[in-house]
Amino acid sequence: MVLGLGGEVKLAFASYVEYQFERCQSGLGLIECPMPEKVKWYTSWKDAVADAKRTRRPILIDFYADWCTYCKKMDKETIPNPSVQATLSKVVCVRLNTEREGRGLASKTGVGTLPTFLLTNAAGEPEGRIEGFTDASQFNATVGSLISDYGTADKRVAVAIAAGKITPTTTNLLKDLLMKRQLGAASKLITGLDKGKNPVFPVEAYFTLGQLFLQQQSGVNARRFLDRGLQLKISGQQRGAGLFIKALTYYQEKNFKAAITGLQMVIDNPGSEPGIVSNARSGIADIRSKIK
């Protein structure tokens, strides 16, 4: 005979299981630790994208490395948590090693800390990230929030552009997009409102977007926004920083002649930060040694 469980009993049982899971981490629980994961994790980006397109779900990428202690700690303590597993069932999960199959995508999306969990669309465009070790409660809350906000960036950008002017809300939206590295949406926002002869956003917005595009190895897009920022009446360290980032885009593309010209502009710019000037001189020497 099968006994049915009422709603309150089910809830109590689920709470009990989660309680025992948390206790098991310190060896006090009555159940085996860790509990088995129910969510499927892909190891191929291509397969994850296919699933995301088919099911119309966002993708959660777990960037890790074999030597990463905190990656293993999250795999053991955070990911198997029942509440986390329930939340992860709403996304397509994929694990990518930053030293093997995930190297290119990690570089493109600016991953600099491990572990990093990145919520993206099927095109690999970031919509949010979690960096470093996170316990189950915090991880679950953050991922849940990212999932709730998924797909809203373009709508918010459209509303801001329709307003036709920059407001504190617009500025905060741009900061949020840049922080989350949602470069497509940030580009649309700036381009949609920045149509006149003179740039309308603070120089930091253009330079930050340019630097993020540099991290994604998109020199053309980086220079588009860097040049716009350099049109502003800036001098000294700010101009030197912008010129240096622009020179790096040429170096990345192996356009060494343009890179040397750009680095020399950094050196000649009055007020360039001494450390950047030193890096520019070293860069020129390095390039010349490569092309001898």
* pTM for the predicted model, two decimal places: 0.68
DSSP 9-30: HHHHHHHHHHHHHHHHTTT--S
Q: Which CATH number fits domain 164-290: 2.40.50.180, 3.30.70.100, 3.40.640.10, 1.25.40.10?
A: 1.25.40.10
Q: How many residues does this entry show for the chain?
A: 292
Sheet with 126-131, side-by-side order of all strands: 41-42, 92-97, 59-64, 116-120, 126-131
d(CA 177, CA 159): 14
Tens of pLDDT, residue by residue, the chain (292 residues): 333 444 444 444 444 445 444 544 444 444 444 445 588 999 999 999 999 999 999 999 999 999 999 999 999 999 999 999 999 999 999 999 999 999 999 988 888 899 999 999 888 888 888 999 999 999 999 999 889 888 888 889 999 999 988 999 999 999 988 887 788 889 999 999 998 888 889 999 999 999 989 988 889 999 999 999 999 989 899 999 999 999 999 999 999 999 999 999 999 999 999 999 999 999 999 999 988 7
CATH number of 19-149: 3.40.30.10
Return the domain boundaries, the chain: 19-149, 164-290
Which two tokens mark 256? 């060494």
Reference 90, options 15, 144, 48, 14; nearest CA is: 144
